[in-house]
């Protein structure tokens, strides 16, 4: 299974071989945060709430897994489970292990700070500055070939450890849908979750999210919506600016033209008809 680009991949190799699970730090919020990759309607009589693409869930834990330890479901405090394929983990990652019993899912959700051995508490949000502050990131947009077994397309902007990711979102409405998430150095912003984050596109489209989370030295933002307006914006242009309170982050980006064109084709049901027809088959979602 292919893993998506993640800011800690370059740091993890030397640490995982010697880190015991029992010594790993506890998750700061008692659980793992995940963002919904698509709309989800729970089965009848389920206590689960419906989900919208881009929605943040704050307390996911280990649920069930297949024989090789690939997550099939993540559990929530209500005791029920969401399909693991419907989520992208934000502050945790999956580590597989040999199953010890039938009830063992075969994997553990481990906080990301365990990769670098950090035992520090999460940084508290700072008070936003009254003085305007502007930073500029220079990076590259390029296509990626999906994740897990769903293979939904994604376009990723990278600048050092900073990542902005646009994901295609499957929808039976047959419109173009997308979601956007950002994983940034928290030093670029005041990192105060009381202030919304605004995402601006080159064509003037603007989206706002209140789902900003500060974990260690990272600021993660999800929940820009609606997904159909995002899809239309992505077809016309790309993000050029993030704003929180008086802090502005401008994105200077080069792009691989073929990758951008391919991504736009992939997320368009009118052009990528074979893929979307396949996704509509019973049992796919």
Please check whether residue 5 lies inside any domain of the structure: no
> Looking at the domain assignment, is residue 2 inside a domain?
no
Residues 183 and 73 reside in one and the same domain:
no
In a domain, 124, yes or no: no
At 29 the pLDDT is 44
Task: Report which of 246, 285, 1 is spatially closest to residue 129, judged by C-alpha positions.
Answer: 246
pLDDT tens-digit series, residues 211-265: 777 777 788 888 888 889 999 999 999 999 999 888 899 999 887 888 899 999 9
Q: Which domain holds residue 96?
A: 12-116
CA distances from 265 to 55, 207, 236, 246, 257 (A): 25, 22, 12, 36, 12
Scan for tokens 């010890």, then name that residue.
100
pLDDT digits (tens, 9 = 90+) for 142-192: 887 543 444 578 899 988 889 999 988 877 667 898 989 998 887 787 666
How many domains does the chain contain in total?
2
Same domain, 95 and 177: no
């Amino acid at each position: 299974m292919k893993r998506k680009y993640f800011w800690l991949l370059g740091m993890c190799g030397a640490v995982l071989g010697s880190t015991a699970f029992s010594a790993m730090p506890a998750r700061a919020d008692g659980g793992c945060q995940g963002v919904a990759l698509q709309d989800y309607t729970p089965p009848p009589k389920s206590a689960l709430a419906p989900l919208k693409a881009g929605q943040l869930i704050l307390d996911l834990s280990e649920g069930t897994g297949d024989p090789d330890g690939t997550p099939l479901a993540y559990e929530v405090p209500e005791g029920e489970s969401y399909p693991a394929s419907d989520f992208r983990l934000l502050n945790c990652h999956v580590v597989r292990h040999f199953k010890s019993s039938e009830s063992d899912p075969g994997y553990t959700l481990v906080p990301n700070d365990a990769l670098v051995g950090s035992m520090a508490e999460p940084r508290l949000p700072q008070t936003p500055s009254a003085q305007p502050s502007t930073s500029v990131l220079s990076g590259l947009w390029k296509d990626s070939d999906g994740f897990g077994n769903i293979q939904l397309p994604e376009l990723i902007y990278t600048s050092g450890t900073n990542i902005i990711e646009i994901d295609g979102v499957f929808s039976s409405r047959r419109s173009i849908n997308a979601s956007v998430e950002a994983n940034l150095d928290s030093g670029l912003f005041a990192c105060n979750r009381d202030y919304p984050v605004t995402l601006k596109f080159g064509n003037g489209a603007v989206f706002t999210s209140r789902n900003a989370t500060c974990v260690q030295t990272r600021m993660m933002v999800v929940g820009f919506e609606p997904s159909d307006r995002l899809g239309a914006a992505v077809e016309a242009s790309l993000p050029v600016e993030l704003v929180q309170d008086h802090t502005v982050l401008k994105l200077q980006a080069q792009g691989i033209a073929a990758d951008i064109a391919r991504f736009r084709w992939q997320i368009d049901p009118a052009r990528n008809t074979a893929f979307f027809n396949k996704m509509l088959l019973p049992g796919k979602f």
